[in-house]
A and B are shown apart, each in its own frame.
Chain A
Amino acid sequence: MTTLKVNGSEHAVRSSPDTPLLYVLRNELGIMTPKFGCGMAQCGACSVLLDGAEIRSCVTPISLAEGKDVTTVEGLPARWAKLHKRSKQDGGSTLHPVQEAWIEEQVPQCGICQFGMMIKVTELLEANPKPTDDEIKAALTTSGPSPHLCRCGSYAAILDGVHHAARLMARGDK
Chain B
Amino acid sequence: MIAPDTLSIHGASLNRRSFLKTGGALIVALGVKPGEGGAASATSSLDATIPTSWIEINADNTLLIRTGKCDFGQSSIYTAYRQIVAEELDVPIDAITTVISGDTDRTPDGGGTFGLLRTNVLNLRKAAAYTREAALELAARELDVPRADLSVSDGKISGGGKSISYGALVSGKLFQLTIPVTGAVTDFGGLRVTGDPPLKPPAKYKVVGQPIKNPSLRPKMSGETVWVNDVKLPGMLHARVVHPATLGSKLLGAGTVDKQQFPTARVVVIGNLVGVVAEHEYEAVLAAYSVAGSTKWSEWKGLPGHEKLLEHLKKSAQSSEVSAVDGAKQGDAAAAAAAAAKTHSATYFMPYHKHAPISPTVSLADVKADGSVTLHTHSQNPQFLRLAIARMLGKPESAVVVRTYPGSGHYGRSNGGNAGSEDEAVLLSRAVGKPVRVQWMRPDDMQWSTQSPASMATVRISLDKGGRIQAYQADHCGPPMQDDRPIGAVLAGLPTMEAPSPTHPSPLHSTTLRIADRWVYGAIANVAEAGHGMYQVGQRESPINVGLRDHSMRTPIQFQQNFPREVAFSEAAALAGVDPIQFRIDHTDDERFKTLLARLYVESGWEKRPSPSPRAGATGTQVVRGQGVGIMWRDNGYWACACQIAVTPETGQVKVERLTVVVDLGVVVNPLQLKRQVQAGSLMGVSQALHEEVTFDEGAVTSDNWAAYPILTMAEMPAVKVVIAPRPEFGIYGQGSEGANACAASAIAAAFFDATGKPARRIPLKPDYVKAMLAT
Contacts and interface: CB of A to CB of B under 8 A. Distances in A.
Interface of A: 15, 19-20, 23, 26-27, 32-33, 35-40, 42-43, 45, 72-74, 95, 99, 102-103, 106-115, 118, 136-138, 140-142, 146-159
Contacts of A150: 358, 714
Given A110-B407, A153-B687, A155-B717, A32 B711 contact: no
A149 B711 contact: yes
Contacts of A140: 713-715
**A-side binding surface: helix, strand, loop or mixed?**
loop
B713 A152 contact: no
B680 interface: yes
Interface of B: 72-75, 213-214, 217-218, 220-223, 226-227, 229-230, 280-282, 285, 356-360, 406-409, 411, 439, 441-442, 672-673, 676-677, 679-684, 686-687, 705-707, 711-717, 720, 737
A138 B716 CA distance: 10
23 contacts: A26-B230, A32-B223, A36-B439, A37-B442, A38-B705, A39-B441, A43-B358, A43-B706, A103-B213, A103-B217, A106-B673, A109-B409, A111-B220, A111-B406, A112-B408, A141-B713, A142-B715, A153-B680, A153-B686, A153-B687, A154-B679, A154-B680, A156-B680
A99 B680 contact: no
Given A23-B281, A42-B705, A112 B357 contact: yes
B221 A40 contact: no
A101 B672 CA distance: 15
A137 B714 contact: yes
A20 B705 contact: no
Contacts of B73: 108-111, 152
Contact of A35 (B221, B227, B441, B717): B227
Contacts of B359: 35-37, 45, 112
Given A106-B214, A109-B677, A153-B682, A147 B715 contact: yes
Contacts of B672: 106
Contacts of A23: 281-282, 285
A27 B439 CA distance: 14
A102 B221 contact: yes
Contacts of B213: 103, 106
B683 A156 contact: yes
Contact of A137 (B408, B706, B707, B715): B715
B223 A33 contact: yes
Contact of B221 (A26, A43, A118, A156): A118
A112 B407 contact: yes
A38 to B, nearest CB: 4
Given A27-B280, A153-B686, A153-B687, 14 more contacts: A23-B282, A72-B223, A73-B221, A95-B218, A106-B673, A108-B221, A111-B220, A112-B358, A112-B407, A112-B409, A147-B715, A156-B679, A156-B680, A157-B680
A110 B72 contact: yes
B237 to A, nearest CB: 12
A59 B400 CA distance: 37
Given A32-B227, A111-B217, A155-B717, A149 B282 contact: no
Which are the 3 A-B pairs with shortest beta-carbon distances? A153-B683, A110-B73, A109-B73
A77 B324 CA distance: 60
Given A73-B223, A106-B672, A114-B221, A156 B717 contact: yes
Contact of B227 (A42, A112, A138, A147): A112
Nearest to B229: A35
Nearest to B683: A153
Contacts of A113: 358
- Most chain A CB within 10 A, of B223, B408, B409, B442, is at B223
A35 B360 CA distance: 10
Contacts of B409: 109-110, 112, 151-152
A141 B684 contact: no
B747 to A, nearest CB: 16
B438 to A, nearest CB: 13
B715 A151 contact: no
A111 B217 CA distance: 8
B714 A148 contact: yes
Contacts of A102: 217, 221
A154 B717 CA distance: 10
B223 A74 contact: yes
Contacts of A136: 714
Contacts of B356: 151
Contact of A156 (B223, B716, B720): B720
B715 A138 contact: yes
A22 to B, nearest CB: 9
Contact of A153 (B75, B226, B684): B684
A88 B285 CA distance: 41
A112 B220 CA distance: 9
